[in-house]
Amino acid sequence: ASVPASGTGIAEPTDSSIERHSVKTTPTILIADRNPYVRRFLQRELTNAGYEVLLAENGRQVIFWIDRHASLDLAILDPDLPDTDAATLFENLHHRIPRIPIVVHSHRGEDMDCVGGSGVWFVEKRGNSIEGIIQMVGDILAARTPAM
């Protein structure tokens, strides 16, 4: 069950909405974007590609998810979230989950200036970027998965 966030009409995640599994087989991706259409589009496409997807519309919700879902495998972030700046958001993510890969999904290439460092990739938002995102996510997660 979820509780509506104050005045937004968007369900706020609750502890009871987080599934607990003893063995995790599906990679979990956090999508944070201010645009609800982009969030839902990415969620649909990545779910269809076989990933578990969590959604956040602002920096507060990103922090909520990373504090309660330590098994995140990757984050796709719009650096222009309404209640934080990109540098602070990335610092918080890497402080709480040091090795999490981050895909910056933005209209502006200059957004890469604020992130720097390894473990960060960039995909420009445009009409045909979904194939690139799915390919990039698969490549990043495959490189992080030890061979059996």
Q: Are 15 and 59 in contact (CB under 8 A)?
A: no
- Does this model's pTM top 0.85? My answer is no
The tens place of each residue's pLDDT in the chain, 148 residues long, gives 444 454 444 555 555 444 444 456 899 999 999 999 999 999 999 999 999 999 999 999 999 998 887 689 999 999 889 899 888 888 888 888 888 899 988 876 554 555 555 688 888 887 767 888 999 999 999 998 765 4
Residues in the chain: 148
Q: How far apart are CA 37 and CA 138, in angstroms?
A: 22
CA atoms within 13 A on the CB side of 6: 1
User: Would you state the structure tokens that stand for residue 84, as one six-digit string?
Assistant: 């934080």
The answer to whether 22 and 108 have CB atoms below 8 angstroms apart is no
Q: What are the respective helix, strand and coil percentages of the chain, to the nearest 5?
A: 40, 20, 40
